[in-house]
Structure 1
Amino acid sequence: MLNNFLKSFKSVVLSTIDENDFPFTSYAPYIKVHNKYYFYLSNMAKHSHNLKKTQKVSLFFIEDEQKTENIFARKRVVFQARVEVISKDILLYKEVLDKFEKLDNTIATLRKMSDFNLYEAEVFYGEAVFGFGKAYEIKGKNFDELIAKKATGHK
């Protein structure tokens, strides 16, 4: 259920903390490699500054509201992750950008721009909701195991 849901996305909603300690939310195309999430951002993007400053991000995946059965119970997954910039001179950088390019050749142009950086997000916490009464913590070595939350407030 979790992996199928996540495979349906090509982009992720990113939430970072800005210089005034306020949340800032936008999105970025992403790719998952070796159980880590990667996104390629310009230094002009506010997220770039925020990520370099805090090395923290929330990754949010949410079901399209046009496709949901109930607007109050949209399927969603949120991960909290630590972030680092991947050096342009290591093999991983080329490997990830090559995979991005297979998804969308826009990367071929962006790779030539010196102000873009590859960010790696390593998840340390996750939660998922797949409908009413279907709330989970996401655990396991690869953060792909759903553990049902115990109902505490709904009667």
Structure 2
Amino acid sequence: MSQIEQVQTEYQQFIEPFQSLILSTANDKGLPNASYAPFIVDEAKNFYIYISGLSTHTRNLSTNPVASVLFIEDEGKSEQIFARRRLTFECTASELPRETQQWEQIVEQFQTRFGQIIEAFRGLPDFRLFQLTPQKGRFVVGFGAAYNIRQDDLNQLVHISGGGHGKKQE
């Protein structure tokens, strides 16, 4: 197996152990907020988060529907703290209307994955379901081993070459 094939396989499996994603949003003035949310993902790599309307990230997504999503290797499992394996996506966000067929299907998937607490959330009118649609991404597996995720095919990686650490960027 070639190196790119090995990294490609690792990319396809990277988010499997994660139950939550790190979420970066910004308000209408551009002020950032870092948070997290439990998620589910579909085959097209859309992420879904079911979040309280009382939270800062929900207000931010409602007024500024863009987000960055991060999955990062646990510090305790990392061989080098400066080169933790990580996957990021720049996403557009859209709220799914309550009580639609798509909303019901996604919330059922949340209940299957996270249990009875989702049943309680269904009865809370402030809980909202957002779809985060990746526009582009990057998978970093170590020093000098960074890959862009193809915008036209989110399943394919392209190695980033040139520049390098310590070289002046033009």
Question: What's the % identity of the aligned pairs?
Answer: 32
Matched, 1:132 2:143: yes
Q: Where do 5+ consecutive residues of structure 1 fail to align?
A: none
1:3 maps onto 2:12 in alignment: yes
When the two structures are superposed, what TM-score results if normalisation uses the length of structure 2? 0.87
Taking only aligned residues, the RMSD between alpha carbons, in angstroms, comes to 1.3
Write out aligned runs for 1:1-155 (5 A). Answer: 1-35=10-44, 36-105=46-115, 106-139=117-150, 141-154=152-165
For residues 8-36 of structure 1, give each alpha carbon's deviation from its aligned partner in whole angstroms, at most 9, with x where no partner exists: 21100000002431110000000002421
In structure 2, how many angstroms separate the alpha carbons of the residues matched to 1:109 and 1:142? 37
Q: Deviations over 1:52-106 (max 9, x none)?
A: 1011010011000011111011000110011110011321101111111111112
Structure 1 residues 56 and 31: CA distance shift in structure 2, 3 A: same
Q: Which runs of 5+ in 2 are unaligned?
A: 1-9
Whether the aligned pair in 2 keeps the contact of 1:84 and 1:119 (CA below 8 Å) is yes
Larger Rg: 2
What is the count of residue pairs matched by the alignment? 155
SS at match of 2:87: strand
Question: Are the counterparts in 2 of residues 33 and 96 from structure 1 also a CA contact under 8 Å?
Answer: no
Partners of 1:7 and 1:144 in 2: how far apart? 15
